Chains A and B, each alone.
Chain A
């Protein structure tokens, strides 16, 4: 079946550090891949997406590249800010109207 595996957190960084959150997937067919972000006390928000191999999604300084050969979609940001502290979810969709989420990775950024 379809599944998403994320690195366990929390990831603790200082402001302006480089961020990588790993995500790998297992899927039948050709999934679309997503990163969602959840700020404290809020629902999830779509951060970025990629719909086919080698696509790069980007938003708010975050990037992720759809790597079919390694079945990965790692999230990166060159310089994190305190305001980036949140829980990040990797997810995939295979077009059957359902989204499968990873377990989430908490990011804590200190000044």
Chain B
């Protein structure tokens, strides 16, 4: 079975500070995704990656950057956190040929004060 580890699972930070969330997969899946989950909005795609050093923007990418230097790791960075980025962040991987079949991590809850 695919395995995803997100870290940290919980973080409280202050406005203006940088934050990096890490997503680590135990298998060599090509596609990895970062979503944020907010009440009334469901899940919205921030960025995704289709290979090492290959990334693209999702629908809510402003204020976020990503990096993928190894197949197993996909990092999400908030260069200068704002209160509007308080959310639960989910990493996901595509585990089959069907685009919609994603396997999700357990989430990282970020609070920006």
Q: Name A's B-contacting residues (CB within 8 A).
A: 4, 32-34, 41-46, 49, 51, 89, 91-99, 101-104
Contact = CB atoms under 8 A, between A and B. Distances in A.
Given A44-B90, A98-B58, A49 B43 contact: no
B79 to A, nearest CB: 24
Nearest to B30: A97
Interface string B75-102: 0000000000000001010100011111
- From A34, A92, A93, A98, name the one whose CB has the most chain B CB atoms within 10 angstroms: A98
Contacts of B99: 32, 93-99
Given A91-B100, A97-B50, A101-B42, 11 more contacts: A32-B98, A34-B101, A43-B92, A43-B106, A44-B102, A45-B104, A95-B99, A97-B48, A97-B94, A99-B99, A101-B43
A43 B100 contact: no
Given A98-B48, A103-B40, A103-B42, A46 B101 contact: yes
Nearest to B107: A43
Interface in B40-66: 40-45, 48, 50, 58
A55 to B, nearest CB: 13
A88 B93 CA distance: 19
A76 B49 CA distance: 34
- From A43, A97, A103, name the one whose CB has the most chain B CB atoms within 10 angstroms: A43
B108 to A, nearest CB: 10
A14 to B, nearest CB: 26
